[in-house]
Amino acid sequence: MVEVLSFHIGKQGLTKDFIDHVAIAFKTRKVIKIQLLKSASDDRSEIKRVAEEIIVGLPGKYNYRVIGFTIILMKRTLMRKEPSKKRFIGKHSRNRTNS
């Protein structure tokens, strides 16, 4: 099971120090949960703006998802190219001419 680190944004709102702490946390984690307390904002549309501000302030590429008053930040990873599957050429897959 993956342990998810949780941060809270309160009355002071989003600060540069907060973004720095999140950046440090992403050095060892791929997913971070950020909860906006009611004292920070009662407006749900503001949460998306806060999430975008956090992503702009972080080095690298990240995705986010907003669920209620919670922002889930995920580090984007390069998808590995799967090795190509070699076709099995057995006796049944050959084209045979019937004589």
**Residue 45: CATH number of its domain:** 3.30.110.60
Closest CA relative to residue 25, chosen from 58, 49, 2: 58
Q: Is 77 helix (H, G, I), strand (E, B) or coil?
A: coil
State the Rg of the chain over Cα.
23
Range of the domain at 44: 5-75
Q: pTM for the full model?
A: 0.71
List per-residue pLDDT tens for the chain, 99 residues long.
667 889 999 888 899 999 999 999 999 999 999 999 888 877 878 899 999 999 999 998 999 999 999 999 998 876 555 555 555 555 555 555 555
Contacts of 61 (CB under 8 A, 6+ apart): 75, 76
Domain total in the chain: 1
Domain membership of residue 95 (yes or no) is no
Domain membership of residue 11 (yes or no) is yes
Domain membership of residue 92 (yes or no) is no
